[in-house]
Structure 1
Amino acid sequence: MKQLDIEAIETLKEVMEDDFTILLDTFFEDSKLRLEDLRSNISSEDAEALRRTAHSFKGSASNLGALALADLCMRAESLGAKRSLEGADTLVNQIKDEYFAVEALLKSYL
């Protein structure tokens, strides 16, 4: 699966014009908070909170065309929905790595 839907990014950039930079900056800030929350959800063994955080992260990643990141978040959401944290550490590490790869790609649009 590719990391970014380039067509979606180009469309967003065209439609949002000057606000596109604000959108990306907000995504970067929110994503870093969500990464912290995912870690915290695991530390506190709160599968429902993991589900909610991953769901929210999935939505924002999807809106920006970050397909692989959205897919990983969907897997974390499903894990939380099953009230399980088995493998969550590994999955959150994958989400973190994918996020930073996406962030680097998106910064090229600024």
Structure 2
Amino acid sequence: MKQLDIEAIETLKDVMEDEFSILLDTFFEDSKLRLDDLQSNILSNDAEALRRTAHSFKGSASNLGALALADLCMRAESLGAKKSLEGADSLVSQIKAEYLAVEILLKSYL
């Protein structure tokens, strides 16, 4: 799966014009909070909170065309929905790594 849907990003950039950089900055800030929350959800053994956080992160990643990140978040959401945290540490590590790659790619559009 490709990391970014370039067509979706280009469309967003065209539609939002000067507001596009604000959208990206907001995504970066929110994502860092969500990454912290995902880790906290695991530490507090809260599968439902993991599901909610991952669901929210999936939506924002999807809206920005971060397809691989959205897919990983969907996997974390499914895990939480099953009331399980088995493998969540590894999955959150993958989400963090993918987010960092996406952040670099998205910053090239600023």
Q: TM-score range by the shorter chain?
A: over 0.9
Q: Which runs of 5+ in 2 are unaligned?
A: none
Counterpart of 2:85 in structure 1 is 85
Amino acid of the structure 1 residue aligned with 2:7: E
Counterpart of 1:48 in structure 2 is 48
Q: Deviations over 1:61-110 (max 9, x none)?
A: 00000000000000000000000000000000000000000000000000
Counterpart of 2:101 in structure 1 is 101
Q: Which runs of 5+ in 1 are unaligned?
A: none
SS at match of 1:103: helix
Counterpart of 1:64 in structure 2 is 64
The alpha carbon displacement at 1:20 in A equals: 0.1
SS at match of 2:61: helix
Counterpart of 2:22 in structure 1 is 22
Distance between the aligned counterparts of 1:39 and 1:5, measured in 2? 27
With the length of structure 2 as denominator, give the TM-score of the two structures.
1.00
Give the root-mean-square deviation of aligned CA atoms: 0.1
SS at match of 1:18: helix
